[in-house]
Amino acid sequence: MTERSVPFIGERFPEVTVQTTFGELSLPGAFQRRWFILFSHPGDFTPVCTTEFIAFEQLHPEFRKLNTELIGLSVEQVFSHIKWIEWIRQCFGVHITFPIIADGLGTLAKQLGMIHPTLGTRTVRSVYIVDPKGIIRLMLTYPETVGRNIYEILRAVQALQVVDANQAATPANWPNNEIIGNQLILPAARTVQEAAERMKMSQAGQLKCYDWWFCMKQG
């Protein structure tokens, strides 16, 4: 890590040891060979955060199908997290099965840019998606007043895994793009010769292209 307070996409997630509702964990090592999503929430016993945790838990089986684990974070203590998830289970019948970090001093939250410098000490709604090599692949930040779309976070993990497997890019709203559906976009041609070859393949029906810089394939 450099001296910047917030890591960038493509950098390794910082090596840290955290206290959680599942005991002490070391990140990113605790999720070795798996993807994980670290997400912060402003506070326990708050309505929007409660709906988010329920939504994350309801999609937890879908995340696990993608070899992806979840871990929450706020600046409260473990006992607060435990009481809150107990309350969620009693009121909504939902058992939270992923750990929650108790970052009481805000050490990790500050390191990851989860605390706004002028809006107090509560964490914003940040999301870090980290791959099995411990590399940060996606970062999202929502304000306190806007609950996250958990289906979009699930879609983002799916897209990242498809991109890795196919060495291609996903279009807007993948897999339901309005123009090309679930097809993937090939990387741009890097030479004049490669551009000409793509057009030749397109004309021969071997590759589908709108132009040499906009070619597609099935994932």
Q: Is 116's pLDDT higher than 80?
A: no
Local confidence band at 1 (pLDDT 50, 70, 90 cut-offs): very low
Q: Which of 21, 42, 61, 66 is nearest to 148 (CA)?
A: 42
pTM over 0.85: yes
Local confidence band at 123 (pLDDT 50, 70, 90 cut-offs): confident
H-state helical runs in 75-149 = 78-92, 107-111
User: In which region does residue 10 sit, left (phi positive, over 0), alpha (psi from -120 to 50) or beta (all else)?
Assistant: left
Q: Which of 97, 92, 51, 94 is nearest to 71 (CA)?
A: 97
- At residue 118, the pLDDT reads 65
Residue 142 β-bridge partners: 125
Active site positions, annotated? 49
> Vertex 99, ends 130 and 138: CA angle to 5°?
20
Greater confidence (121 vs 128) lies with 128
Q: Is 2's pLDDT higher than 60?
A: no
Q: Is 156's pLDDT higher than 70?
A: yes
Q: Summarize pLDDT for 96-112 with one digit per residue, the tens.
A: 999 999 999 999 999 99
Q: Is 12 annotated as a binding residue?
A: no
Q: Is 4's pLDDT higher than 60?
A: no
